[in-house]
Amino acid sequence: MPQDHTERRVVVTGPPRQSLPHARLRSRGRHPQPSAHYRPRTEIDEQTTLGHTYVRSLMRTQLRAALTVLAVLALLVGPLPLLFAALPGARRLEWAVLGFGLYLPLVLLARWYVRRAERNERDFVRLVEDR
């Protein structure tokens, strides 16, 4: 059985690249020089691995803020049924806690979350715009 000694062809794929014209044409000014580095916005627009990493970083920081708010909310509201079960005759206390005691912490928590999310987005835009 004869063996075929020709090399097997392999298809190599990757992101499309711009073809660069001959160096002499570039030196005469017919074609603009490509920039030395890509800006993060370009990386995101072209959906490269680095751009994906930038977006994933923003999503991770937003998720971290949301999970922090969820944990604080669970610690704030979670024990209330146990408290109300331990004090069965204190109906006025229940209404006071639910009506007045929770309102301010929930508003402050929501305000903190919105400010944190906006700051994360502002930092991301500052990174992408390269300022």
Poorest-confidence range of 8-17, 64-73, 90-99, 121-130? Answer: 8-17
3-state SS of the chain is CCCCCCCCCCCCCCCCCCCCCCHHHHHCCCCCCCCCCCCHHHHHHCCCHHHHHHHHHHHHHHHHHHHHHHHHHHHHHCCHHHHHHHCCCCHHHHHHHHHHHCHHHHHHHHHHHHHHHHHHHHHHHHHHHCC
pTM of the predicted model as reported, rounded to 2 decimal places = 0.60
Nearest to 120 by CA among 51, 62, 41, 40: 62
What letter represents residue 12's amino acid? Answer: V
Where do the domains of the chain lie? 37-128
Residue 85 clears pLDDT 60, i.e. is over it: yes
**Which residues lie below 8 Å from residue 40, measured CB to CB, with a gap of 6+?**
50, 51, 54, 127, 128, 130
Residue 117 clears pLDDT 60, i.e. is over it: yes
Give the pLDDT mean for 99-117: 93
Q: What is the dihedral of CA 62, 68, 69, 74, to 10 degrees?
A: 140
Q: Treating both helix axes as pointing N-terminal to C-terminal, what angle do 49-77 and 103-129 enclose, rounded to 10 degrees?
A: 170
- Band (61; pLDDT cuts 50, 70, 90): very high
Six-digit token string for 124: 């991301």
10-27 pLDDT, tens digit per residue, is 776 766 655 545 444 444
Poorest-confidence range of 21-35, 83-97, 112-126? Answer: 21-35
